[in-house]
Amino acid sequence: MFDVGFSELMVIAVVALIVIGPERLPRVARTMGHLFGRLQRYVNDVKADINREIELDELRKFKSTFEDAARGFEGTVNTTVDSVQSEVSKAETELNSLTKIEDTAAAPSGAPQAAPAGAAPQPGEVGREPQGGAPPPPEKTAV
């Protein structure tokens, strides 16, 4: 900062000795040393504060970059989830329509439905075989 060599320091010391005097010179030098130490500590504190602010600024930039990346990833995931949900709903709709078609094809509206397997025959159906049921088991003969 200041380019002060040894010869300049000697000139300053001689001028201080003449102006201040030999009795007060040690006390003034001690006071100047304390003030110079305080000045150095103050400058170091200011430097530390500036460095902390720079680090905080870098952390804020990193945080904003990270949040932007997280938002982008979240958007991608949401888009994928939405497309999968739409495909699932389409498949569900198709399955429901196929189930309705199968139900209407299996039971025509004008034809009587078959009686359940263990149901008693109706009064007019004594000798008939049940419709759609399995044939009766073969009779066992003694050998």
pLDDT tens for 44-89 read: 999 999 999 999 999 999 999 999 999 999 999 999 999 999 999 9
**CA 136 to mean position of chain CA atoms:** 66
Specify the pTM: 0.41
Question: Contact, 130 vs 114, CB < 8 A?
Answer: yes
Q: What is the pLDDT of residue 116?
A: 54
- Mean pLDDT is highest, among 12-16, 75-79, 121-125, 129-133, for 75-79
